[in-house]
Structure 1
Amino acid sequence: MRAAFSAALVEAATRDERVVLLTGDHGYALFDEFRKRCPDQYINAGIAEQNMVGVAAGLAKAGFRPIVYGLSAFVPVRVVEQIKIDVCYEKLPVIFTGDGAGLVYSTLGTSHQSFEDIACLRSVPYIDIMSPCDAHELTACMSTALTLQSPVYMRMGKADLGSVHAKAPSLARGELACVQRGQSRVQFIATGSMVKTACTLGAELDVSVWSAPWIKPLDAGQLGALAASSSAFVTLEEHSAAGGLGAAVLEAISEANPVPVLRIGVGERFSETCGSHAHAMREHGLDLASVRARVEPFVDKWTMSDAC
């Protein structure tokens, strides 16, 4: 996914000299090709993320298309105020990219883990939130982000779990992508790294799987129609269960077609032990076995309710 991100940056900057990349002293190897091809469009703002957002806002007001890169624990979490006031208040076309979202920086502890970034931004007006599940969705998200004349935040997980799609999906803004069809009237809606887990369980339980490359906006019409033909939803995300995809889905369907929603995500806790990404996922109950233990009885319950 990060290779696709690097390629998308180079392609955008070589096509449009207004594209400027700003980094908070991160991503050196990732940007080797960019610095070689577009040296005058690269700014290392140093470990000064708040200032970097202000610089990006100024560049946007001057007609540039800034792309701000950082670890998601810092962009957006450290700079929510600057994103709100400097960028979103004036609806400036700045793209924020948060790398290492979720629990990927497991060994670095709570300071570098990021499972609140979506929640931090969902209530800020005028900003889109994207969460691609693989390189193909990332390419599609970047392409769309560059056409928008408004702020965008795109979160990326650093762990490359392989492709979900065969090619970049063609999606309208806010639309879900169906990646797997099943016969059950329970639907899985997943985002980012958890789409792979959803696909595995969907195949086992004969459940359709939808990927959510957008968290904000969500296509309320599509979700409402899906809810009208479903008995229940399961949402899966490498993010807090509070304020993330699951909460957005609940809000979108609550008035029109409410159905039960099981939200799989990080609970009300921080990491307490140190280990690999897989270890952190197990600790927070996001590994395949833990998710299966929660999802199977829920799917069985709402499948049986249909039969009755």
Structure 2
Amino acid sequence: MRTAFINTLCEIAKKDERIWLLCGDLGYSVLEGFAGQFPQRFVNVGIAEQNMIGIAAGLAMCGKIVFVYSIVNFPIMRCFEQIRNDVCYHNLNVNIVAVGGGLTYSSLGYTHHGMEDLAVMRVLPNMTVIAPGDPLEAKLATQAIVNRSSPCYLRLGKAGEPQVHPREPQFEIGKAIELQSGTDLTLISIGGMLDLTVKAAEKLTMQGYSIEVLSMPTLYPLDEQSILQSAQKTKKIITLEEHGIGGLGSAVAEVLAQSGESVKFSPLRLKREAVKTAGSQTVLRSQQGLDLDGIVQSALAMLQRVY
């Protein structure tokens, strides 16, 4: 996803001199293309993330469209006060791009696990929160962000994520993307879980179930209409995210609770406990029940349960 992001940003920056990119002393193998083409609009701030947000806010006040880039926890956890007070309070055109959402940087340990970022970002005023499901969604999200003038949080994976959509989907901030229509169960995915969600739906379909699949790349503003329409149709919803409490599952639960719809609901997400095991992203996902078998078994449990 990060490659799709930077390639798209470079294309936009060729036509719009307002585009600036700041980084916190990382991303060299990814950001070199932008830095080489637009050296006057690229700043490596160093390991000084709070300062990076302050600089971004100042540039935005001067009319620039600013992107800041870092590993998921560093521009969020270290800079929350600056994001809240400098960026969101003033409703500035600063776009925080975080790579390594979820357990992407698995072997680097808990300091690099992005388990709370979506929850933290979605409570802030004026902040749009986007987590694309595949490289195509990442490309389209980047294009859409540039046309806005308010803060945005763009959560990406790392690199090598599969393209799930066979072609470019219709992308609109605040709207779900339907990949498959069904009547028995709805699977709603955000971010890098989309590939496994689609594969789980395929397995369930082979067992005779009619599965609806929604990609929800925008957490805020949330597409409440699509959620409720699907809930009325299938009466069963499972959300899937590589994130803990406060993310997609919590947001969908709020919508369902306020609607009064009678719906069976289950959020599949990271456990609240810190992940202390060393291993690959695949291994850690499996331990959290977020692998293909875990998703299918959770879905079957809901489908076969007698209420």
Quick check: 1:4 aligned with 2:8? no
Q: Is the 8 A contact 1:228 1:257 kept in 2?
A: no
In structure 2, distance between residues paired with 1:251 and 1:44: 40
Deviation of the 1:257 alpha carbon = 4.4
Structure 1 residue identity aligned to 2:293: A
Q: Deviation of residue 283 (structure 1)?
A: 2.3
Deviation of 1:279 (Å)? 1.6
Unpaired segments ≥5 residues, structure 2: 206-210
Question: Which position in structure 1 is the counterpart of 2:266?
Answer: 262
Amino acid at match of 2:256: I
TM-score (norm 1): 0.94
Instruction: State, as a whole percentage, how many aligned pairs show the same letter.
Output: 35
Structure 1 runs (4+) greater than 4 angstroms displaced: none
Cα deviation 1:153-179 (Å, max 9, x = unaligned): 010111523111123322332111011
Q: Is the 8 A contact 2:3 2:159 kept in 1?
A: no
Unaligned runs of 5+ in 1: none
Instruction: Give, in angstroms, the shift of residue 140 of structure 1.
Output: 1.1
Paired position in structure 2 for 1:224: 228
Q: Deviations over 1:241-269 (max 9, x none)?
A: x1001111111222224322110010121
**Corresponding residue for 2:298?**
294
Is the Cα–Cα contact under 8 Å of residues 181 and 209 in structure 1 kept in the other structure?
yes
Q: Aligned runs of 1:131-210 on 2, under 5 Å?
A: 131-182=131-182, 184-206=183-205, 207-210=211-214
How does the TM-score come out when normalised to structure 2?
A: 0.94
Aligned residue pairs: how many?
301
Query: Any conservation in 1 of the 2:137–2:171 contact (CA below 8 Å)?
Result: no
1:51: how far off? 0.6
Deviation string for 1:45-91 (max 9, x for gaps)? 10000110000000000111100101011122221111110000011
Q: Render the CA deviation track for 1:125-175: whole Å, top value 9, x for unaligned.
A: 110000001111011111111111110001011152311112332233211
Structure 2 counterpart of 1:96: 96
Of 170-179 and 41-50, more deviation after overlay is shown by 170-179
Secondary structure of 2:239 counterpart: strand
Letter in structure 1 aligned against 2:132: P
Give the counterpart letter for 1:243 in structure 2: G
Letter in structure 2 aligned against 1:270: A
Find the aligned partners of 1:22 and 1:98 in 2 and give their Cα distance: 12
Partners of 2:299 and 2:229 in 1: CA distance:
23
CA distance in 2 between counterparts of 1:161 and 1:52 reads: 28
Q: Distance in 2 between matches of 1:265 and 1:61?
A: 38
**Cα 1:272–1:216 shift into 2, 3 Å:** same
Match of 1:244 among 214, 238, 247: 247
Please give the alpha-carbon distance, in whole angstroms, between the structure 1 residues aligned to 2:22 and 2:217. Answer: 23
8 Å contact kept, 2:240–2:268: yes
Amino acid across the alignment from 1:290: G
Matched letter for residue 190 of structure 2: T
Q: Distance in 2 between matches of 1:92 and 1:261?
A: 37
What is the distance in 2 between the residues matched to 1:79 and 1:283? 30
Aligned mates of 1:147, 1:289 — CA distance in 2: 40
